[in-house]
Amino acid sequence: MRLLEVDDLEKYYRTRGGLFSSGREKVHAVDGISFTMDREETLGLVGESGCGKSTLARLVARLEEPDGGRVIFAGKDITELSEKELQELRCEMQVIFQDTYSSLNPRLTVSSIIGEPLANFHVGTRKEQKERVQELLETVGLNPEHATRYPHEFSGGQRQRIGIARALALRPKLVICDEPVSNLDVSIQAQILNLLKKLKQEFGLSYLFISHDLAVISYISDRVAVMYLGKIVEVLKSRDLATEACHPYTLALLAAVPVSDPRLREGKELIVKGEPPDPVNPPAGCRFHPRCPWAEEKCRREEPVLKSVKAGHQVACHFEGITMRGCGSG
């Protein structure tokens, strides 16, 4: 069943006094993005930093107002909610952040941090709230005795567990995870990812999971959406990533992680060269063309649209990605 529908979502930033140095007066952080999510699905959103992933997350959570498009969550257009309805939405949709230093108040005890949403929404009596906090601590693998301590007394992984417990307090349907493991050591990353997987099963959660790391994304997600400079360039099932991905940018991301793809070993080397272009002044045509080894004249002129190449697989490339051009066969 459908949980979320994002339709042509747009967010741009203006300069204070007129034009950017490029001559443009606005820069698109999110440029006409559409996707859907089912209940109990994890959609991974991957791309380099600055591609607009976090802005997209903030728009979906309505922590920022979009400049265009719609976000339909559980059948309601959340871009048109009243203040009161927005409060209700906060129960159903929660966010886990990357930086637990700024997202957990250092002056509050763990108990107050996790119990805050319960207190704000007047869920149960004080005693019931306390019991719920104890239960949540156990759910995320912390000791109930930790309740009286402060965030600085914990490691990065433990702090992220506290953030997860807080996000779950109100029993949300959707949890938006914005780079939740990016600040953690690799061994700790795996523990947190496994915890998130377990919680999804246990509580029937859906995650919109954001990361710059394709290995993390492919581990946690059912489907993957690849973002490049404010646009989605490919969507496919995670299990098909290694064999079916065909957008040159996705292949470049794959080449950077230890997933072997024979297409990458022959012909043109696919390494994403240089820094991503300036989002203030994105290249004309296909935004990836300055870094794409397969770019042709048409790519410099015309912008490709995201279209289906088969069921559950969409690509934005004039040549429907490199596999379809026969690059994989010979």
CB 108 within 8 A of CB 121: no
CB 131 → Mg ion: shortest distance, Å? Answer: 36
CA angle, residues 313, 250, 63, in degrees to nearest 5: 80
Category of 131 on φ-ψ map: left (φ > 0), alpha (ψ -120 to 50) or beta: alpha
The residue within the footprint of Mg ion, chosen from 27, 44, 54, 319 (CB under 5 A), is: 54
CB 317 → ligand SF4: shortest distance, Å? Answer: 3
- Binding site partner of 318, from ligand SF4, Mg ion, none, Cβ cut-off 5-8 A by kind: ligand SF4
CB 45 within 8 A of CB 210: yes
Contacts with ligand SF4, residue ranges (CB under 6 A): 248, 286, 288-289, 292, 294-295, 299, 304, 317-319
Report d(CA 221, CA 193) in Å as an integer: 10
Nearer to ligand SF4, 147 or 306 (CB): 306
Displacement of CA 288 from its chain's centroid (Å): 20
Nearer to Mg ion, 54 or 103 (CB): 54
Nearest to 240 by CA among 323, 304, 182: 323
- Binding site partner of 228, from Mg ion, ligand SF4, none, Cβ cut-off 5-8 A by kind: none
- For residue 300 the two structure tokens come to 């410099």
Contacts of 41 (CB under 8 A, 6+ apart): 3, 206, 222, 223
Nearer to ligand SF4, 177 or 315 (CB): 315
CB 48 → ligand SF4: shortest distance, Å? Answer: 15
Nearer to Mg ion, 54 or 134 (CB): 54
CB 32 → ligand SF4: shortest distance, Å? Answer: 16
Nearest to 61 by CA among 82, 37, 89, 33: 89
CB 5 → ligand SF4: shortest distance, Å? Answer: 26
Report d(CA 146, CA 150) in Å as an integer: 8
- Binding site partner of 54, from Mg ion, ligand SF4, none, Cβ cut-off 5-8 A by kind: Mg ion
Give me the residue label for tokens 């719920």. 132
Q: Determine the residue with CB nearest Mg ion.
A: 54
Nearer to ligand SF4, 46 or 96 (CB): 46
Can residue 211 be called a binding residue for Mg ion (CB under 5 A)? no
Q: Which pairing describes strands 313-315 and 174-178: parallel, antiparallel, or unpaired?
A: unpaired
Q: Which stretch binds Mg ion (CB under 5 A): 26-34, 53-61, 244-252, 278-286?
A: 53-61
Nearer to ligand SF4, 99 or 303 (CB): 303
CB 313 → ligand SF4: shortest distance, Å? Answer: 15
The number of residues making up the chain comes to 330
CB 290 within 8 A of CB 283: yes
Nearer to ligand SF4, 207 or 288 (CB): 288
- Binding site partner of 172, from ligand SF4, Mg ion, none, Cβ cut-off 5-8 A by kind: none
Report d(CA 146, CA 153) in Å as an integer: 9
Exposed/middle/buried for 121, CB within 10 Å: 0-12, 13-18, 19+?
middle
Which DSSP letter does residue 18 get?
A: B
Nearest to 100 by CA among 148, 156, 32: 156
Nearer to ligand SF4, 258 or 326 (CB): 326
- Binding site partner of 292, from ligand SF4, Mg ion, none, Cβ cut-off 5-8 A by kind: ligand SF4
CB 47 → ligand SF4: shortest distance, Å? Answer: 14
Q: Which stretch binds Mg ion (CB under 5 A): 35-43, 46-54, 107-115, 246-254?
A: 46-54
Binding site for Mg ion (CB under 5 A): 54
